[in-house]
Structure 1
Amino acid sequence: MTMQTTPRHDQILDCLLAGAMGDALGADIEFANLAEICARFPQGFADLPIQQGIQGTFTDDTQMTLFTAEGLVRAAVRSTLKRICYPPGVIHHALLRWLVTQGETPRAKVDDIGLVTDRRLNARRAPGLTCLDALRQARNFGEPAVNSSKGCGSIMRVAPIAFVAEDRVRDLAMECSALTHGHPTGQEAAGAWALILRFLADGADLEQAAATHAHSFGAETRDAILRGLQTPADGRPETTEQLGGGWIAEEALSIAIHACRCARDLEHGLAVAVTHSGDSDSTGAIAGNALGLMFPGQARVHRWAAQLECRDLIERMAEDLSLAMSGQMDDLVTRYPGA
């Protein structure tokens, strides 16, 4: 493995920005079939779509990713101040605050602090039913969901976890996936993707990162990684279509790996990731997180980043997550009271 050369803060920002760009790019075509997408965009994608009168709107994928990042920051602050912390519980609390932004009332009592106070996030954009239901039912922070779902909601929000201590990445991603998704494959796909992102951040190439972990998970996750690695990297939508719709975690994992292998640059990779009959916003978000790391700096200067809503929030959470993961707590202790 080669060593990272991009500063960690810039990597986190590239990862989160590119994920949000992929999410926003796919949001307008999530429920369209491939023929409809190709008819609407015969020359490809020029700009991020306008939805609800706002250009560059992202969905629950990016919303939940930001709340996951906030949970990680609060967990780091809590550990510093109180010397004891269970990060999945703190992240669960953050996700329950996201649930409030969706007009829901959690059973567990949640604090009115942080991202939840930014009313721009009070936007309900086809959130995953499994995530909604599992969070509605939660009574205690850190309590795993009781269901058998392996929907892609388990994997689409794990990117921030790639930047925690290396020996915690897999377990924490799986534990946080289990907060909403009870099926082992959903949890394993999340763990595998977080590890792949970490390897990319540390200097590995995509195929090396994926192949390294293919055989350390169960059969469904292993086979999904191998499909993503072995499918012809021709960039043709018909080829991506063979990997499924991305509605379930292992299909989303395959599509993300495939899109990254096809990518000539960030924009091309995002286009491959969303151009299929399926969950285009989620596959765009998931692949985007990796593409941001594969093409350092491109997300920060791309025209689509300038079109994103709430870019300031993404930049702030990238900054705070970078500080938290590097142990620079002085400012965070002040800005995250009650952690």
Structure 2
Amino acid sequence: MTKVTAEQLATARGCVLGLMLGDAIGATGGNVPASGTLRATSAGQLACFTVEGIIRANIRGTHKGICHPPSVVRHAYTRWAALQGIPGIKRWQEEDWPDGWLAQVPALAVRRGSAPATVSALQAQPIWGAEDLTWHSTGAHALTRILPAGLNRWWGPEPGRFAAEVASTTHGPEAADAAALGATVVANLVKGQTIDKATELAQRECQSFTKVMTGLPLSAALHAARDQPRQLQVLTQLVPDSRAASALAGAVYVALSYADPAQLLDALMFAASVPHGRHVAVAAGAFLGAAHGVEALPVGLVSRLELAWVADVLARDLLSEFLDGPSGSGYDDPPDPRWWDRYPGW
């Protein structure tokens, strides 16, 4: 019998599928075609590998006792890059790699936009745990791919710190700060906080370890949403570029401007309509999906998502891994003998 509650499942599925929906809508610039598949971009693909990496990190820690989770998640990104055929990616073993069930999903092997900072970091530093290189990118992928880590609020005390550590494996301090804040917003939504309260708390909870986005970095977005909601000019000013910090501020503004569950699709269309809005839509989708649950997502569009089934399975498996322990502990027969093959613990 599972220990996962219906509320937890609705929240996790809402967060991950909301992220994927925002990714697909963002890619269209808000001009969603009337029919056909809604394809994921590299942002959605990387988010899938983040979830898989978190699951595999927990399995490694449970079975081996020694684990550096950010390095295991980084290894997940190398599998994504290898599947994409990106040159200069270290092979971790000659046979049966990339491994795990995600490596069998054809859509994840198709290049859908670039992730230059992530790719260059993976090419330049192929060794786990190496500390000799420092990354400087401020790009939004550091934020968008890590947001499901906020679901760790159910089993981890500081998902924001973990998110920053993962982001730091490929991006610079500002982007890592944005990742920490974004994941903590999700974590507070998991606790049942409203979007504005979740954001206010995240700013305070991350103050002890943020390096660039110190103080109350999201206050402008919060005030703008209260005083001038749903204004394209305001959103454009909050998101002047494709930095992670800008995407985060824009997502907070959008999520607060369209806080009613019935407005979720309007929120994503609004986010996608500004020049740098595609990453805003990804983050806003994750926030609103976590806040309102999977039932708030428009079924007609979710059913058209290229990676809907993949994202849904990952959300369910993430909860199962931490709350049900299907792989066991390494001392007894696992409840699910196939779990290790699906998520090898390394």
The TM-score, its normalising length taken from structure 2, stands at 0.84
**Alpha-carbon distance, 1:212 to partner:** 1.6
Paired AA for residue 79 in structure 1: G
Which residue of the partner structure matches residue 258 of structure 1? 253
Paired AA for residue 25 in structure 1: I
**Alpha-carbon distance, 1:157 to partner:** 0.7
**Alpha-carbon distance, 1:7 to partner:** 2.2
Identify if the C-alpha distance between structure 1 residues 82 and 327 changes in structure 2 by more than 3 Å, giving closer, same or farther.
farther
Which residue of the partner structure matches residue 112 of structure 1? 98
Q: Is the Cα contact below 8 Å between 2:43 and 2:141 reproduced in 1?
A: yes
Q: Which stretch has the larger CA shift, 191-200 or 109-118?
A: 109-118
Which residue of the partner structure matches residue 41 of structure 1? none
Query: Quick one: distance in 2 between partners of 1:202 and 1:105?
Result: 42
Residue of structure 2 aligned with 1:282, choices 279, 282, 285: 279
Pairing 1:284-323 to 2, within 5 Å after superposition: 284-299=281-296, 302-323=299-320
Query: Quick one: distance in 2 between partners of 1:49 and 1:80?
Result: 46
Query: Quick one: distance in 1 between partners of 2:129 and 2:193?
Result: 32
Segments of 5+ residues of structure 1 without an aligned counterpart are 30-36, 38-44
Q: Which stretch has the larger CA shift, 301-310 or 136-145?
A: 136-145
Q: Is the Cα contact below 8 Å between 1:6 and 1:296 reproduced in 2?
A: no
Matched, 1:168 2:172: no
Identify if the C-alpha distance between structure 1 residues 25 and 302 changes in structure 2 by more than 3 Å, giving closer, same or farther.
same
Residue of structure 2 aligned with 1:336, choices 321, 340, 343: 343
Q: Is the Cα contact below 8 Å between 1:68 and 1:158 reproduced in 2?
A: yes
Which residue of the partner structure matches residue 19 of structure 2? 19
Query: Deviation digits for residues 11-39 of structure 1, max 9, x if unmatched?
Result: 1111111111111011023xxxxxxx7xx
Query: Deviation digits for residues 62-99 of structure 1, max 9, x if unmatched?
Result: 10000000001111111222122111111011010111
Aligned residues with identical type, % of pairs: 25
Residue of structure 2 aligned with 1:76, choices 54, 58, 78: 58
Q: Which stretch has the larger CA shift, 268-277 or 255-264?
A: 268-277
Query: Deviation digits for residues 111-141 of structure 1, max 9, x if unmatched?
Result: 3212123222111111221111111112212
Residue of structure 1 aligned with 2:121, choices 134, 143, 147: 134
Q: Is the Cα contact below 8 Å between 1:58 and 1:309 reproduced in 2?
A: yes
Identify if the C-alpha distance between structure 1 residues 338 and 76 changes in structure 2 by more than 3 Å, giving closer, same or farther.
closer
Q: Is the Cα contact below 8 Å between 2:13 and 2:294 reproduced in 1?
A: no
**Alpha-carbon distance, 1:227 to partner:** 1.5
Query: Quick one: distance in 2 between partners of 1:62 and 1:221?
Result: 28
Paired AA for residue 108 in structure 2: L
Query: Deviation digits for residues 185-242 of structure 1, max 9, x if unmatched?
Result: 1111100110110000110111111112324245635454112101134212122111
Matched, 1:235 2:235: no
Paired AA for residue 163 in structure 1: L
The TM-score, its normalising length taken from structure 1, stands at 0.86
Which residue of the partner structure matches residue 209 of structure 1? 198
**Alpha-carbon distance, 1:309 to partner:** 0.6
Paired AA for residue 285 in structure 1: V
Q: Which stretch has the larger CA shift, 101-110 or 173-182?
A: 101-110
Query: Quick one: distance in 2 between partners of 1:105 and 1:149?
Result: 20
Query: Quick one: distance in 2 between partners of 1:143 and 1:320?
Result: 30
Secondary structure at 1:62 match in 2: helix
**Alpha-carbon distance, 1:273 to partner:** 1.8
Which residue of the partner structure matches residue 269 of structure 1? 267
Paired AA for residue 155 in structure 1: L
Q: Which stretch has the larger CA shift, 145-154 or 310-319?
A: 145-154
Secondary structure at 1:197 match in 2: helix
Q: Is the Cα contact below 8 Å between 1:49 and 1:56 reproduced in 2?
A: no
Query: Quick one: distance in 2 between partners of 1:218 and 1:212?
Result: 17
Secondary structure at 1:70 match in 2: helix
Residue of structure 2 aligned with 1:148, choices 136, 145, 166: 136
Which residue of the partner structure matches residue 191 of structure 1? 180
Secondary structure at 1:73 match in 2: helix
Q: Is the Cα contact below 8 Å between 2:20 and 2:307 reproduced in 1?
A: no
**Alpha-carbon distance, 1:146 to partner:** 2.4
Query: Deviation digits for residues 308-333 of structure 1, max 9, x if unmatched?
Result: 01211111111111111214223333
**Alpha-carbon distance, 1:167 to partner:** 1.6
Query: Deviation digits for residues 235-267 of structure 1, max 9, x if unmatched?
Result: 121221110245001111100100000113211
Alignment length (residue pairs): 315
